[in-house]
Each structure stands twice: as C-alpha cells, then as structure tokens.
Amino acid sequence: MKISIIGVGNVGSAIAFALLNKKWKGKIILVDTNEKKLYGEWLDITHAGKVLNENIEIIMNTGNSEIAKSDWIIICAGKARKSSQSMSYLKLHNTPVVEDIIVNAKYYSPNSGIVMVTNPADEMRKIADKVFDTVAIPDYLLDAARLKHCKDKNKLSFMASEIVKNKGYTNWGVAAVANLIC
C-alpha cells in the first residue's frame, strides 16, 4: 500500500507515526513545502520506522510527483486551528491550499482515496468530493467518541475547543485516520 501525507506539521507527522504502529507493508510519502521541517520530520519518522515497522519505506518530497499511484492521500496542509480562530477564518485561508492539492492529487493519483484532515474538514471535503469518489474525514468518529465520554451532545464543540485551547491541537483524529485506512 502507498499512503501519501501532504502537510507534515503536528498532525501530519503524528499520523505518520500512528501508521508505523499498524501491521502493513508499503510506503509513506511525506510532502511539505517547508523543506527544513520536512527533512526533520522525515529523519524522525524514518528512525522510528526502523524500530516500529521495517516494512514501511518513508520518502520525502517537496513536490507532488511522489504521490503518483497512492492508495490514500491524507491532506493535513494549511493553517492549523487556534482556539481564537473561527472555522470561517480557516476556510478562507485553507480553501486555496486544498484546491491546489486536489488538482495535483487528481493529476498524479486519480484513483486514490482522500482523507481530509485540514480544517474545516467538512468544508474542505466538499472540494475533494467534486473530484474524487472516495473522500473520508475522521471528525465523525471523533464526535462519537466524545459523545460517549460526556453524554451531552451540546458539549461536543466545547470539548474540542477546550482541547485546542489548552493543548494547541488534538491527537485523537490521528488514531482515527490510521484506523480508517489500515
């Protein structure tokens, strides 16, 4: 299997680490425009792969050619959500990023499945849905788990905001993505 991760910030790199813990063989392609960050994450993930799963080859690329013939493309690129930012702000800034990624993904890997992680994921999914047959977002799994925890669906968005406010991001979606495709 070949899995490409576009955007290797906190979430993209955490997804790569989560995928190393799954039992599968293939390649993880890391793509990011920030060469220094990409190289550091590639080194870290490659070293972890030698311990966690030697059956996975880790490749880094600042362009899109390596994503060709991917089974899955996980899109994590764009601005990260901060607790003070609205989803409409993220939509404004992340839409052009995701549109560009989708154009390249369709060109290089037209038959892949897409996992949309970039926020607001529901809105970004609409962009991918126009072009790809299989588009998934981990948010629904996350909401179901949070509902089991708090039993009050009116507090779901509060819980997510509290995690982001106190920690800066949430890791749960990372596990959801890894479980979704492996």
Q: Which is higher by pLDDT, 170 or 70?
A: 70
pLDDT given at position 134: 86
**Rounded Cα distance, 170 and 161, in Å:** 10
Query: Tell me, what CATH number does 102's domain have?
Result: 3.40.50.720
In a domain, 145, yes or no: no
Question: Model confidence over 81-117: pLDDT tens digits?
Answer: 777 778 899 999 999 999 999 999 999 999 999 999 9
In a domain, 77, yes or no: yes
In a domain, 147, yes or no: no
Q: What residue numbers bound the domain in which 21 lies?
A: 2-138+170-181
| 14 close to 171: Cβ distance less than 8 angstroms | yes
pLDDT given at position 30: 97
In a domain, 152, yes or no: no
Residue 149 confidence (pLDDT) above 90 = no
In a domain, 159, yes or no: no
CA distances, 12 to each of 117, 148, 149 (Å) = 9, 26, 26
Q: The tokens of 115 are what?
A: 């996992």
pLDDT given at position 136: 81
Q: The tokens of 39 are what?
A: 């190289």
Q: Number of structural domains, the chain?
A: 1
* Residue 70, SS3 per DSSP: coil
Least confident range from 22-31, 122-131, 140-149, 164-173: namely 140-149
pTM of the model: 0.84
In a domain, 161, yes or no: no
In a domain, 27, yes or no: yes
Mean of all residue pLDDT scores within the chain? 85
